Structures are given as C-alpha cells and as structure tokens.
Chain A
C-alpha cells in the first residue's frame, strides 16, 4: 500500500493505492480457466485510535484500488493506520505520517 497525506489548517487529504489484483471471478486465464474472485473486502483508516473510514469493496473496484478522502482534525505528524483484508483472508496494514 502506498499512502500520500498532507494536512492544511487541520484538514488532511489522504490518497492511497493498494496493490491487489482485484480478480472479479469472471475473467479467464490464458488456458481458459476461470480465475477465482480475489478482491479486497474491507479497507479501514484509523486516526488517533478511532476508525474514521470503513470502505467495503466488491469486485468492481479497479485493480490496485485507489481511494482518496479527507479527515478533519488531522495535523501534520499525526499517524494514520490503514489496513485492508480480502476475501481470502490476506491483509496488509501500513502506518503513514501526515505531512
């Protein structure tokens, strides 16, 4: 996961790109076999120990999902904790410092 975040007047814009194939379960591989669905289900953003965003994804979110949102009351130096979990139980968590 790559995160870019910058705060101005206590309002932090957060952008992220999560590396994930986001297989829909409808596409076929080179041999004509269905590629099973493999997609992020839930992505969360925590700020000061509180979940401020819960994003639920289906299979129609693009490969390597991109998300942008804005947190009120987040200053430079604050740490954000971003996590995702997918339908196969894989997950990733990163911490990013607001710039």
Chain B
C-alpha cells in the first residue's frame, strides 16, 4: 500500500507538462491488423514474424498470476536477458483474438514490459520475444474464475 506522502512525492516527480489533444506524429509504422485480427496463436505469430518459428526459451521470463483476481485486469510482465531484442509480444491462447499487445523495442529500451490485459477464460498466456532475428517464447497458464464476491 502506497501511503499518501510517498504517493504525492512520486506524482510530483513527473508532472506532465502538456496534456492536450494534438496531431499524432506521422512517424509510426502501421498497426499490424493481420496479426491482431488473427484468431489463432499460430496465425498471429505468422503475421508478426513471417517465416520464424518460436523456440521455448528459459531466457524469456513471463510474470503472471496463477489465478487471475479478475479476468478484466491481469497484470503481465515480460522480460528477457537475450541480446538484440527487437520485439516483445503478449498473446492469450483462448481469447477470440489471441494477440493482446506487441512492442517494438528500441536498443535504448531495457527488454522489460509490464501491461494489464483481459482474459475471457482460463488460458495459456504466451510471451514472444524477437531477438537477433529469431523468435523465442515462454508460456504460463493463468486461471480465470467467475467471481461472485470479492472485497
């Protein structure tokens, strides 16, 4: 639990300077529609990394809960000590569209990403890491229960 004082300090340290609706920078690459609309892990993977077959790797670390508190908000962290990381992607096998998020990693970034995702049911969560032109993966089952009560 963050107490009030600590929380205020953290906030103060990073006051947003501008918060306005602006034109989006035109430099970004196109959103990978084929990968996000894919309905299987295989199709999503093929669309993201054509011609590459992901190998299971102990160097890909996936931090996910055993039992999700609520499927609407499941905290996931993916990190790796593989060199030359260019992409980290998070997939949920049994979601209608398995690909949740895909991150293009610049060399200036540490290969570690945390994100909160949705899960419709108990499923494997898969982390894909592209490094040095090859793809690696780690997966973990996350149980999603239908909650009735809870705090």
In the complex they form, whether A and B have CB atoms below 8 Å apart is answered with yes
Which A residues are within 8 Å of any B CB, using their own CB? 1-6, 11, 24, 26, 41-42, 44, 46-47, 50-63, 65-73, 79, 83-85, 90-99
Task: Say whether A62 contacts B73, CB under 8 Å.
Answer: yes
A30 vs B90: C-alpha distance in the bound complex, in angstroms? 31
Task: Say whether A96 contacts B17, CB under 8 Å.
Answer: yes
List A contacts of B13 (CB < 8 A).
4-6, 99
Given the contacts A56-B102, A58-B101, A93-B18, A24 and B118 also touching, CB distance less than 8 Å = yes
Q: A52, A60, A72, A91: which contacts B118 (Cβ < 8 A)?
A: A60
List B contacts of A66 (CB < 8 A).
75, 114-116
List A contacts of B92 (CB < 8 A).
60
CB within 8 Å of A: which B74-98 residues: 74-75, 77, 92, 95-97
List A contacts of B74 (CB < 8 A).
62
**Stretch touching chain A among B51-59, B103-111, B127-135, B136-144:** B103-111
Given the contacts A58-B36, A60-B95, A61-B100, A91 and B24 also touching, CB distance less than 8 Å = yes
Given the contacts A56-B36, A58-B100, A97 and B15 also touching, CB distance less than 8 Å = yes
A93 vs B28: C-alpha distance in the bound complex, in angstroms? 14
Instruction: List 10 A–B pairs whose Cβ atoms lie within 8 Å, in order of A's numbering.
Output: A6-B14, A42-B28, A50-B106, A51-B28, A53-B106, A55-B104, A66-B114, A69-B109, A92-B22, A93-B24
A53 vs B113: C-alpha distance in the bound complex, in angstroms? 10
Q: Does B67 contact A (CB under 8 A)?
A: no
List A contacts of B72 (CB < 8 A).
62-63
List B contacts of A58 (CB < 8 A).
36, 97, 99-101
Q: Which of A24, A54, A92 has the most C-beta atoms of chain B within 10 angstroms of its own C-beta?
A: A54
A30 vs B56: C-alpha distance in the bound complex, in angstroms? 44
A17 vs B19: C-alpha distance in the bound complex, in angstroms? 13
B33 CB, min distance to chain A CBs, angstroms: 9
List A contacts of B75 (CB < 8 A).
66
Task: Say whether A50 contacts B31, CB under 8 Å.
Answer: no
A13 CB, min distance to chain B CBs, angstroms: 9
Task: Say whether B16 contacts A1, CB under 8 Å.
Answer: yes
List B contacts of A91 (CB < 8 A).
21-24
Q: A70, A72, A96: which contacts B14 (Cβ < 8 A)?
A: A96
A93 vs B19: C-alpha distance in the bound complex, in angstroms? 6
